[in-house]
């Protein structure tokens, strides 16, 4: 049994918070973490070097959209999603299929262009993939895509459904919603105890309403492994 721990929204402006979160995770024995990197920001040479250092230390870098901000709100579904979940982060929802493919290809290409290992995992911002048929992924340079419900295997089109905990509670309303969500997800984990638990952490979570809940969770969950290692285990 293991957990899959990811730190979202890794970009130049959040590197100090990411440092602190990695220290918190180490304090709780979690060293095999996946960092979700947003390529389309003004990365300096020192910022890229920090990513390289983390990667060389054994942390996994995954691709996390391009800008992490939707250019506009497109349609009723996107408007509801923005109001209830993502605000303006779900950039896929503003794009058509062609735009989504181009964004994902650019996101994948950025890593080797910077001298970093190419990512095998892609996580759309806010887990919102948009209007993209599963058959359209097979030639993209990833092995798996993380969705709200689980991990999508690009080669087979199958989703492994996995529980997901979140702690991005910057308002009391979101804190109440996430507290209920997390309880339901832990109940789901109990029903499928052979499957790992996903924990998605955002840069400011350790200072928000559910910070104590996050620390309790990190102290109790099984040891963590990287997303790419979980993907390899599924196919052995």
% of residues, the chain, pLDDT over 70: 89
Selection from 129, 157, 132 nearest residue 143 by Cα: 157
**Burial letters for 140-153: b for 16+ Cβ neighbours within 10 Å, e otherwise?**
bbbbbbbbeebbbb
Confirm whether 83 is domain-assigned. no
What is the span of the domain harbouring residue 146?
Answer: 3-68+99-234
- Please state which of the ranges 35-39, 51-55, 139-143, 231-235 shows the lowest mean pLDDT: 231-235
Q: Are 210 and 167 in contact (CB under 8 A)?
A: yes
Q: Label residue 103 by pLDDT band (50, 70, 90).
A: very high
Confirm whether 175 is domain-assigned. yes
Confirm whether 80 is domain-assigned. no
Confirm whether 78 is domain-assigned. no
Number of domains in the chain: 1
Predicted local distance difference test score (pLDDT) of residue 76:
44
pLDDT: is 69 or 53 the higher one?
Answer: 53
Selection from 210, 151, 232, 197 nearest residue 30 by Cα: 197
- What is the 8-class DSSP label of residue 223? P
Confirm whether 90 is domain-assigned. no
**Inter-CA distances, 129 with 45, 94, 125, 194, Å:** 30, 10, 8, 27
Q: How far apart are CA 124 and CA 90, in angstroms?
A: 8
Tell me the two tokens of residue 197: 């638990």
User: Which residues are registered as beta bridge partners of 208?
Assistant: none
Q: How far apart are CA 112 and CA 132, in angstroms?
A: 25
Predicted local distance difference test score (pLDDT) of residue 68:
78
Kindly state the average pLDDT of the residues 72-93. Answer: 57
Predicted local distance difference test score (pLDDT) of residue 156:
87
- Check pLDDT > 80 for residue 135: no
Confirm whether 19 is domain-assigned. yes
Q: CATH code at 43?
A: 3.20.20.370
What does the mean pLDDT of the chain come to? Answer: 89
Predicted local distance difference test score (pLDDT) of residue 188:
77
Q: Label residue 48 by pLDDT band (50, 70, 90).
A: very high
Confirm whether 54 is domain-assigned. yes
- Check pLDDT > 60 for residue 205: yes
């Amino acid at each position: 049994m293991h957990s899959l721990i990811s730190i979202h929204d890794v970009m130049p402006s959040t590197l100090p918070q990411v440092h602190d979160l990695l220290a918190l995770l180490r304090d709780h024995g979690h060293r095999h973490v996946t960092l979700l990197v947003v390529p389309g920001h003004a990365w300096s040479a020192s910022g890229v070097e920090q990513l390289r250092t983390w990667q060389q230390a054994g942390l996994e870098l995954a691709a996390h959209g391009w800008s992490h901000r939707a250019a506009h709100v497109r349609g009723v579904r996107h408007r509801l999603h923005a109001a209830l979940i993502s605000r303006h982060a779900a950039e896929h929802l503003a794009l058509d299929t062609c735009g989504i493919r181009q964004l994902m290809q650019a996101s994948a290409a950025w890593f080797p262009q910077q001298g970093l290992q190419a990512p095998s995992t892609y996580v759309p911002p806010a887990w919102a993939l948009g209007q993209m048929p599963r058959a359209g992924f097979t030639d993209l340079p990833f092995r798996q895509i993380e969705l709200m419900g689980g991990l999508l295997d690009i080669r087979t089109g199958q989703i492994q459904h996995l529980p997901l905990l979140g702690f991005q509670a910057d308002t009391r309303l979101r804190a109440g919603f996430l507290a209920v969500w997390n309880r339901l997800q832990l109940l789901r984990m109990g029903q499928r105890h052979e499957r790992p638990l996903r924990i998605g952490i955002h840069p400011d979570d350790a200072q928000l309403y559910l910070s104590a809940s996050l620390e309790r969770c990190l102290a109790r969950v099984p040891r963590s492994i990287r997303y790419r290692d979980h993907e390899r285990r599924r196919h052995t």
